[in-house]
Amino acid sequence: MRIAAAVVSLPLLAGLAACGEIQEAQEGLQQANQQLQGAQQSLDTAQACLQAINAANFVPNFADPQKAQADAQAKVTEIQQLADRTADETLKQNLLDVQESVQQVADGQIDIEASAEWTSAQLDKYQAVTTTCSRLAG
């Protein structure tokens, strides 16, 4: 009788062991998926930061006021689109600060006489973007 019970319980024990292995495999897959999602978020953040740094690095040619205004208007649009896609609120605010500054050039408020002061202020905004991106990169 004991032999019969042992023979009957062997497949059940083997089935339970297989269930445990399946559960371990599922947990491993979940961990791998979380790591992939984290890597994707890091990549997205790195790409957003690269684009933000490039956008914040804008300094027009003030010697050609019409071109400066046209270039600035194009940059304003680019920065707005980037800010709209940016998940990090600090980086988004940094970009909006840059956009506001560049909008002054697009509106013709900054001429060659005021360009040195504007460029200095723009450098501060650029530094804020790079500082935020350094923090995000961890």
Gap between the Cα atoms of 76 and 98, Å rounded = 9
Question: Residue length, the chain?
Answer: 138
Q: Is the pLDDT reported for residue 62 higher than 60?
A: yes
Gap between the Cα atoms of 131 and 59, Å rounded = 19
pLDDT on residue 24: 72
Please write the tens of the pLDDT for every residue from 12-25: 555 555 566 667 76
Q: Is the pLDDT reported for residue 82 higher than 90?
A: yes
36 compared with 91, residue with greater pLDDT: 91
Q: What is the helix (H) or strand (E) element at residue 55, kind and residue range?
A: helix 2-56
Q: Band of the pLDDT at 47, cuts 50, 70, 90? A: confident
How big is the CA angle at 137 (ends 127 and 94), to the nearest 5 degrees?
35
Q: Is the pLDDT reported for residue 10 higher than 60?
A: no
Q: pTM for the complete prediction?
A: 0.69
Inter-residue contact 111 to 69 (CB < 8 Å):
no
Gap between the Cα atoms of 92 and 79, Å rounded = 10
- Segment 31-48 shows an average pLDDT of 62
